[in-house]
Amino acid sequence: MRAPQGTSVRPARAGRFVATGRRYLPVAATVLLAGACMPAAATEQARRTSDLYAVFMTVAAVVAVIVWSLVTWAIVRYRKRSDELPSQFDRHVRLEDFWTAVPLLIVIGLFAMTLSALAQVDGRMTNPAVRVDVTGFRWQWQFDYPDAGVSVVGTADQPAVMVIPVGQAVHLEITSADVVHSFYVPRFLFKRDAVPGRTTSFDLTVAEAGDYAGQCAEFCGVFHDRMTLVVRAVSTADFDAWLAAQKAGTALPSGRVTASSTGTP
């Protein structure tokens, strides 16, 4: 539609543009901040993931600033001044080579770093101190310590606690008794599906003592939300005391320790 004689549509459009920008800026900022946040890494493997994430975010931020700056400059510098079309055939071969080669090199570099991180996160530790067999079932978790003959079974009221020694390599083997579940501890920055009829494994070393909350991350049915768990990293002495309490029957089947038993926080 043509603007009436003597008036311009540009101020109105600019006003709408600014108003839209003001409306969506907080949303965009929230999304960017949420994307930049992740739980603090609690395992040595998670620290590797966290470092890689930081590299990705930094590269993405630099690329975003360069692209947004260039686009803004192009919009302002070459905004429409008349109905005459600009030349459609001009090109700059070196510039085109440059902006093809640089993103390609960035992608290759990030891919190589990802492969390296993956090898470390998924790698096997030599002589893990403890082995835990993890079995997901509707609607809780079972943790077996085959070397010690100890078994922990969670219930809806008492989610299972996996007690492990801090600072030592732990080998986990995961499967499911019924449907697909997923073992997920946010602070470990790691998730592994528990698939019936199949056993997969991974190693981890928790760097700091403490309780780390986990949750089944695969929607496995109506009481999926009850499939919480706790990984409790304790000193080697406390771990040994906990194992002894389990064997003596003074600890609860969920892995929690009764007041009469000793050792575990």
Write out the residues near Cu ion by the rule CB under 5 A: 181, 216, 220, 227
- Nearest approach, Cβ of 136 to Cu ion (angstroms)? 6
- Nearest approach, Cβ of 224 to Cu ion (angstroms)? 5
Indicate the residue type of 245: A
Nearer to Cu ion, 201 or 228 (CB): 228
136, containing H or E segment = strand 130-137
Q: Which two tokens stand for residue 233?
A: 């990293």
Q: How far is the C-alpha of 44 from the C-alpha of 204, rounded, in Å?
A: 7
- Nearest approach, Cβ of 75 to Cu ion (angstroms)? 50
Q: How far is the C-alpha of 263 from the C-alpha of 240, rounded, in Å?
A: 8
Nearer to Cu ion, 230 or 257 (CB): 230
Nearer to Cu ion, 189 or 194 (CB): 194
Nearer to Cu ion, 214 or 263 (CB): 214
Nearer to Cu ion, 106 or 195 (CB): 195
The reply to whether omega before 139 is within 30° of 0 (cis) is yes
Q: How far is the C-alpha of 66 from the C-alpha of 75, rounded, in Å?
A: 14
Of the candidates 129, 123, 212, the one whose C-alpha atom is nearest the C-alpha of residue 168 is: 129
- Tell me which residue has tokens 């001009």: 90
Q: How far is the C-alpha of 136 from the C-alpha of 179, rounded, in Å?
A: 8
- Nearest approach, Cβ of 134 to Cu ion (angstroms)? 12
Under DSSP, is residue 204 helix (H, G, I), strand (E, B) or coil? strand
- Nearest approach, Cβ of 174 to Cu ion (angstroms)? 12
